[in-house]
Amino acid sequence: MRTSNHLIGLLNFLTFVLSIPILAGGIWLSSKANSTECLRFLQWPLIIIGVAIMVVSLAGFAGACYRNTFLMWLYLFVMFFVIVALIVFIVFAYAVTDKGSGRTVPSRVYLDYYLQDYSGWLKDRVAEESYWEKISSCVRDSKVCKKMGRIVGGVPESVEMFNLRKLSPIESGCCKPPSDCGFSYQNETVWTGVEGMVLFNSDCTNWNNDQSELCYNCDSCKAGVLASLKRSWRKVSVINIVVLIILVIAYVIGIAAFRNNRRIDNEEASGEARMEKARPSWIHS
């Protein structure tokens, strides 16, 4: 075996190892309860790319070990599309999670979330009536709001303590009314308004102390889901970018090594041909 074959084998092994964090990222996204679980379709591209890299690397590895040119060609061919898919996926992930973040609220540590701060394709999907029904029932089933409750000395934590909490976007958007409603705190998920109050935010009327309603139909909940998605997608994108860079380097080296192999093959072939031609004249001389 040639050195370049060892190199290709090594590179394939490396890309094989690289497919593991991508797969892990996809599985992490799908296992994360209460946010992305409710938007299942989003982690599939990642899992497919991870599996593709894994399979293709194995093919390349076998191709390099057994000097199988077909497998090597297949590897280089398919890996090209995997790299393109990964680039598309990274660009897509950034594009759909481009805009929007939580708003700070005076004397609160947690942020409030407003749907009008978000825009684009993902927002339209999440806000779509039929789609939101599925997502919100998923958030409800995840019991994230119930898990938010803290008991201190037999009673719910005080409002002062609650104001100092760092809430996840889902907890803030879906489990409590927006702060600008001015409701008064009873516990994390029970808030009372004052009769005849003027409300500027439509979410305030959507709020319901019924523990199966809460703010699940609020725009703030949709914004919370979007913010939560953005966070986890950004994390996964960091892994993807690192993997992409290593993959491209491995690919370029792989092509160089493959061409080098072919050049040596060709030279040997033409060298043998030359010797074959030359032989009769040696015999005669």
Ligand X SMILES: *[C@@H]1O[C@H](CO)[C@@H](O)[C@H](O)[C@H]1NC(C)=O
Binding site for ligand X (CB under 6 A): 146, 148-149, 187-190, 211
- The residue among 123 and 157 lying less far from ligand X, judged by its C-beta, is 157
Residue nearest to ligand X (CB): 149
Shortest spacing between CB 147 and ligand X, in angstroms: 8
- Closest to ligand X by CB, 150 vs 262, is 150
Residue 100 or residue 156: which is nearer to ligand X going by CB?
Answer: 156
Of 99 and 165, nearer to ligand X (C-beta) is: 165
Q: Which is nearer to ligand X, 12 or 189 (CB)?
A: 189
Do 214 and 145 form a contact (C-beta atoms < 8 A)?
A: yes
CB of 28 to ligand X, least distance (A): 27
| Least CB distance to ligand X at residue 175 (A) | 7
Least separation in angstroms between residue 145's CB and ligand X is 6
Of the two residues 148 and 218, which places its CB atom closer to ligand X in the complex? Answer: 148
Minimum distance from residue 252 beta carbon to ligand X (Å): 54
Q: Which residue shows structure tokens 């598309």?
A: 88
Q: Find the shortest distance in angstroms from Cβ 242 to ligand X.
A: 39
